[in-house]
């Protein structure tokens, strides 16, 4: 018989086993969900033939039935030298047709931080990919700069070697940039390098299926968690006749020069070029992030033809297999698919095999039609980019619910039968067929070498847009660009977008522009309440007008100082507009009201926002100070939630209590409690009196009141000619009259007490006792003291004694401002109910100052109007606004916006002649500036590497510099150094700013070696290579050289300082922990001891 104990053990064991099985089952289900999770297409960038620059122009071209095939451009190669209409002739091409994109010879190298010199050596595949990936991210509403350090992956299909075969014909054509400029692996690597992406980075080459396989690989990487976002696509550029010669021998190129997929007239394909990139995220992530979803990748599959009829011959059985596996991976039944974007090359062999394989899987003799199409009929065969062109087309089809026409289709290929299927080839724009569930499409791409890819796309899940959130009545449209001209072009694009009348709320457009774009140096911010108002302001800016509501500037990373207004600026209803419409501000005020509830006789909100318009109790000290504290503290919290954190704080009189709270000296609860006690002590213990402002220097005012030290005093020194007096009312009036008689303005202040005067003496000790109950701490943000006008010492706590004397001692506001300006601060935001301190500060500054003085609130003005104009000004000055935080309290939807207006310049080498009896073109590094289209080159016997040719130096000699006055030396050296930098960059027209990092213009270690050698030759000073890299600027290098030159003395530029061994003494920078790699680079590129610096090799990653 089983004992009760054993029965109990058995029951517990079974229970634990059951729970374990449940956990394991949940794990398996979670794994399966992750493994098969759909992937959302949240952004697209594309450049295709026919003037296609985005998905809007792509869809227009497709639905308009445009044939983008034309003649081969003359700048690719001399086609007349290769053309022969007779098929099969060695070295000849029997077609003149191809599909080409415009502007391939132009590239905005400055934008991407690439020197023109390097850009000339870059494969156009890389250049095109850079621009399209940037546009894809912008289309996704993702600021490219915001991905730095993320595990974002890049998967690019690329299979062409045209750049190498067309541009590198002799050993002398190889430069230091050939390795990175020509290798296929650098196509995706450029993107990860530019954006500092740390996720997977793959160049995929399976010939014609490369880009669709790149998408499939990206989806798999997302599902396994290797990356959380991926850029995937492909690129193809036609630069060389080699492949066309080969395909002409093979017979696969169309003699008619048109791709006629599935048509009985089809005779081959047409070469095409272009680039397409999609931004992919897991569907759950895209829904969470409220992304705009164009379509969803349900599943995909890849396989190989294996041993078909020939290594380039398709295999129908393999195609059937990849279809079925893709459908199974996506959990989709064949009958749900309404459109198939086929590989469809238009060859006599390939089309029938593909149609037969499709019929075996998707064919049925009843039901809705299944349409077959191929974008190759519009733009030719984009080879490595063919699959992505088809996928983007299919995504647009499921999104729009329509299928564009298949061009050049007249009669079905006689070797194809649609019998027993519902297949059809659309010859006009066709509505999506009625199928069960979401619209679903399939996309095929087959590689010449046998790799087959099939992907299932589905309509994006429907989601009702959230209701428009109009609580904030106005918006800030923040625009920026790398150059002034690009900013103007961008403003023009946005003005057109705002005027297009699509109904997108202004708030959503502003939010998308602010959060979905990288912010550059040249900035423009427009404030407005309607789309029309902002559009008009942008249009005015484009015309050259700068009216109200516009802020224009250059970002210089301004730090912001918060100024906290003292008592006297309060008023009934202050900040009511913000309280009603800004949740963060409201929460902070409500929290202050909650803290004050047991401390005040009347609720704070009833004092701030009284029902009776005649209620003026807020002007009583007992309520004025707590109400002012609450509004200023809430305003500081609002600014901080928007990313505007103070670099320092300064308050005026009572305002220092709020400043100290914001600086962390006391908690909000303690700060409010102390404020209430301070107000009560002043009311109960101070003697009656008043205050007045006298617009005269402190010394003159002090002399006037010197006879009455126990009745009147200088209460505040606000500026060189702005002094506040405080004391007995009669005496204050006498002093004011005396100054008025001299023609000096003096006016009484509406304050019920005589602060910072002898009349406050009775309040000092009670106030000290009240402060003694507060737990004060050392400031965490630089705090400038009213009492001393100096920065409060770190690690020192402003204690009870300080706060007791604070109410009695003179407010040295002018000294405090000067302390801040001496620290380098020139942007001041008054965090108070009125710009009282800004007026005082403005009067105290020199007339030619460029300080930025901005209010948060202003009496008799709409709260949002004042506040948003300040946001705009701060943004234009370079303050980093947290735009996500700025809109964090509101419901916003991502909206489509214009992409960046690149400013490409000509970066193109003439094609190398293909016949030995003609001279070759110049090497990349010696190619002249953009306007030089020379096609000639010296004979090989006279050829010299550009690295061995010396160019005239722009840098002055040491003697020339020493002959200038000291202030002129830096300006002259910087101006000449700019020219040298432009020389090594290979661009005479680039905008090289004095204070921008040299690496931002594309300066690399090879160029740094040249600059180092030039400086050594001209000035006799030796810098490390790393001194030009990192954050080095024109100005920083020039300042260093001038300083070092002054230290060396002597009259000759050849007098290089030496150590005792006789080797030149290098200028060394202070090492940093992160400079290990730079130090190694410097070691390998430093000049050999005992000799002049030689050309050392550039950095390399082998």
Residues annotated as catalytic are 208, 343, 381
What sign for the dihedral angle of Cα 986, 992, 994, 998?
negative
**Quick check: helix, strand or coil at residue 737?**
helix
Contact criterion met (CB below 8 Å) for 732 and 725: yes
**Quick check: helix, strand or coil at residue 279?**
strand
| CB within 8 Å of 967: residues ≥ 6 apart | none
Q: In what order do the strands lie in the sheet with 827-830?
A: 783-784, 646-651, 560-564, 827-830, 852-855
| CB within 8 Å of 979: residues ≥ 6 apart | 954
Q: How far apart are CA 635 and CA 629, in angstroms?
A: 10
> Look-up: residue for tokens 């009213």?
786
Contact criterion met (CB below 8 Å) for 387 and 213: yes
**Quick check: helix, strand or coil at residue 131?**
helix
Tokens of 1004: 């690399």
Contact criterion met (CB below 8 Å) for 690 and 755: no
Q: How far apart are CA 663 and CA 852, in angstroms?
A: 22
> Look-up: residue for tokens 């002034």?
484
Tokens of 682: 């002043």
Q: How far apart are CA 392 and CA 397, in angstroms?
A: 9
Tokens of 610: 């009284």
Q: Where are the alpha helices (DSSP H) in 650-760?
A: 655-662, 668-685, 698-705, 729-741
Q: In terms of residues, how long is the chain?
A: 1102
Contact criterion met (CB below 8 Å) for 551 and 869: yes
Contact criterion met (CB below 8 Å) for 988 and 929: yes
Q: How far apart are CA 81 and CA 469, in angstroms?
A: 64
What count of other Cβ atoms lies within 10 Å of the Cβ of residue 73?
15
Under DSSP, the state recorded for 371 is E
Contact criterion met (CB below 8 Å) for 1011 and 1028: yes
What sign for the dihedral angle of Cα 533, 539, 541, 544?
negative
Contact criterion met (CB below 8 Å) for 48 and 235: no
CA distances from 1007 to 117, 927, 983, 1002 (A): 10, 16, 10, 9
Burial of residue 571 (number of CB atoms within 10 Å: 0-12, 13-18, 19+)? middle
Burial of residue 79 (number of CB atoms within 10 Å: 0-12, 13-18, 19+)? middle
What sign for the dihedral angle of Cα 685, 687, 690, 691?
negative
Contact criterion met (CB below 8 Å) for 709 and 685: no
Tokens of 454: 């099939």
Q: Name the phi and psi angles at 842, rounded to 5.
A: -60, -40
Contact criterion met (CB below 8 Å) for 76 and 244: no
| b/e 1043-1071 (16+ beta carbons within 10 angstroms → b) | ebbeeeeeeebeebbeeeeeebebbebee
Contact criterion met (CB below 8 Å) for 282 and 224: no
Contact criterion met (CB below 8 Å) for 881 and 874: yes
**Quick check: helix, strand or coil at residue 902?**
coil
Burial of residue 970 (number of CB atoms within 10 Å: 0-12, 13-18, 19+)? middle
């Amino acid at each position: 018989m089983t004992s009760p104990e054993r029965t109990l053990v058995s029951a517990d064991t079974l229970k634990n086993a059951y729970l374990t099985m449940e956990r394991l089952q949940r794990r398996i289900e979670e794994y399966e969900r992750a493994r098969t999770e759909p992937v959302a297409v949240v952004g697209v960038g594309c450049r295709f033939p026919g003037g296609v620059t985005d998905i809007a122009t792509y869809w227009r071209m497709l639905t308009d039935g445009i044939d983008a095939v034309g003649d081969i451009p003359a700048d690719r190669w001399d086609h007349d030298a290769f053309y022969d209409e007779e098929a099969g002739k060695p070295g000849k091409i029997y077609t003149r047709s191809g599909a080409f994109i415009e502007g391939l010879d132009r590239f905005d190298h400055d934008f991407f931080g690439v020197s023109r010199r390097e850009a000339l050596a870059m494969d156009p595949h890389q250049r095109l990919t850079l621009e399209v990936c940037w546009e894809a991210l912008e289309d996704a509403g993702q600021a490219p700069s915001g991905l730095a350090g993320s595990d974002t992956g890049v998967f690019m299909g690329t299979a062409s070697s045209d750049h190498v075969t067309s541009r590198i014909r002799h050993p002398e054509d190889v430069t230091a940039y050939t390795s990175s400029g020509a290798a296929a692996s650098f196509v995706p690597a450029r993107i990860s390098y530019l954006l500092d992406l740390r996720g997977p980075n793959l160049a995929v080459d399976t010939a014609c299926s490369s880009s669709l396989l790149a998408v499939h690989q990206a989806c798999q990487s997302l599902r396994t968690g290797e990356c959380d976002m991926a850029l995937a696509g492909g690129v193809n550029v036609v630069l060389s006749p080699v492949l066309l010669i080969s395909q002409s021998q093979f017979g696969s190129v169309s003699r008619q020069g048109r791709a006629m997929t599935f048509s009985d007239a089809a005779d081959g394909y047409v070469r095409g070029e272009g680039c397409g990139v999609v931004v992919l995220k897991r569907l759950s992530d895209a829904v969470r992030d409220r992304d705009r979803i164009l379509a969803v990748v349900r599943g995909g599959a890849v396989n190989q033809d294996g041993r078909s009829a020939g290594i380039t011959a398709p295999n129908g059985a393999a195609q059937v297999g990849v279809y079925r596996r893709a459908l199974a991976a996506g959990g989709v039944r064949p009958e749900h698919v309404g459109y198939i974007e086929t590989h469809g090359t238009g060859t006599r062999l390939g089309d029938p095999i593909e149609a037969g394989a499709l019929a075996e899987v998707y064919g049925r003799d009843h039901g809705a039609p299944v349409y077959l199409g191929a974008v190759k009929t519009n733009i030719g065969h984009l080879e490595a980019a063919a699959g992505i062109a088809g996928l983007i087309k299919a995504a647009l089809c499921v999104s729009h619910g329509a299928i564009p026409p298949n061009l050049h289709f007249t009669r079905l290929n006689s070797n194809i039968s649609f019998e027993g299927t519902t297949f059809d080839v659309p010859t006009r724009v066709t509505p999506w067929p009625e199928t069960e569930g979401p619209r679903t499409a399939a996309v095929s791409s087959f590689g010449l070498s046998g790799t087959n890819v099939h992907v299932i796309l589905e309509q994006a899940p429907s989601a009702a847009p959230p209701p428009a959130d109009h609580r904030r009545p106005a918006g800030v449209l923040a625009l920026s660009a790398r150059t002034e001209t690009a900013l103007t072009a961008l403003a023009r694009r946005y003005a057109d977008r705002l005027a297009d009348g699509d109904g997108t709320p202004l708030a959503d457009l502003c939010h998308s522009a602010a959060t979905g774009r990288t912010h550059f140096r040249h900035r423009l911010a427009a404030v407005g309440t309607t789309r029309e108002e902002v559009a008009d302001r942008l249009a005015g800016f484009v015309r050259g007008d700068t009216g109200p509501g516009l802020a224009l500037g250059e970002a210089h990373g301004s730090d912001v100082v918060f100024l906290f207004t003292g008592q006297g600026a309060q008023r009934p209803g202050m900040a009511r507009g913000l309280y009603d419409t800004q949740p963060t501000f409201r929460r902070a005020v409500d929290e202050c009201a909650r803290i004050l509830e047991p401390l005040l006789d009347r609720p704070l909100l009833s004092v701030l926002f009284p029902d009776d318009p005649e209620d003026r109790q807020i002007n009583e000290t007992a309520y004025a100070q707590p109400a002012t504290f609450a509004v200023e503290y809430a305003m500081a919290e609002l600014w901080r939630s928007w990313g505007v954190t103070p670099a320092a704080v300064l308050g005026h009189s009572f305002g220092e209590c709020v400043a100290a709270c914001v600086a962390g000296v006391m908690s909000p609860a303690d700060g409010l409690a102390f404020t209430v006690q301070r107000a009560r002590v002043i009311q109960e213990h101070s003697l009656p009196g008043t205050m007045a402002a006298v617009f005269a220097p402190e010394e003159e005012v002090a002399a006037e009141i010197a006879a009455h030290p126990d009745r009147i005093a200088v209460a505040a020194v606000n500026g060189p000619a702005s002094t506040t007096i405080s004391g007995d009312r009669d005496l204050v009036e006498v002093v004011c009259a005396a100054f008025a008689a001299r023609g000096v303005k003096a006016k009484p202040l509406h304050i019920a007490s005589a602060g910072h005067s002898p009349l406050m003496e009775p309040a000092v000790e009670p106030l000290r006792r009240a402060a003694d109950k507060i737990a004060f701490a050392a400031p965490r943000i630089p705090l400038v003291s009213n009492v001393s006008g100096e920065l409060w010492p770190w690690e020192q706590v402003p204690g009870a004694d300080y706060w007791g004397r604070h109410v009695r001692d003179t407010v040295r506001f002018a000294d405090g401002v000067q302390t801040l300006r001496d620290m380098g601060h020139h942007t001041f935001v008054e965090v108070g109910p009125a710009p009282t301190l800004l007026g005082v500060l403005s009067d105290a500054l020199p007339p030619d100052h460029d300080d930025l003085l901005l209010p948060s609130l202003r009496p008799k003005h709409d709260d949002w109007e004042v506040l948003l104009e300040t946001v705009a000004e701060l943004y234009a000055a370079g303050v980093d606004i947290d735009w996500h935080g700025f809109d964090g309290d509101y419901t916003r939807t991502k909206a489509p916006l214009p992409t960046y207006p690149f400013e490409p310049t000509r970066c193109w080498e003439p094609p190398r002649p293909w016949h030995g009896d003609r001279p070759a073109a110049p090497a990349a590094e010696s190619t002249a500036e953009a306007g030089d289209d020379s096609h000639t080159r010296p004979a090989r016997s006279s050829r010299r590497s550009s690295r061995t040719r010396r160019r005239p130096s722009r840098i002055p000699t040491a003697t020339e510099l020493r002959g200038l006055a000291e202030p002129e030396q830096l300006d002259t050296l910087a101006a000449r150094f700019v020219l040298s930098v432009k020389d090594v960059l290979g661009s005479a027209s680039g905008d090289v700013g004095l204070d921008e990092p040299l690496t931002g213009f594309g300066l690399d270690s090879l160029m740094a070696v040249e600059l180092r050698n030039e400086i050594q030759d001209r000035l006799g000073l030796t810098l490390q290579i790393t001194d030009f890299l990192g954050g080095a600027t024109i100005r920083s290098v020039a300042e260093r050289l001038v300083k070092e030159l002054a230290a060396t003395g002597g009259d000759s530029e050849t007098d290089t300082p030496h150590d005792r061994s006789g080797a030149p003494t290098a200028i060394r920078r202070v090492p940093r922990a992160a400079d290990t790699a730079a130090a190694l680079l410097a070691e390998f590129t430093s000049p050999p001891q005992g000799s002049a610096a030689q050309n050392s090799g550039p950095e390399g990653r082998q």
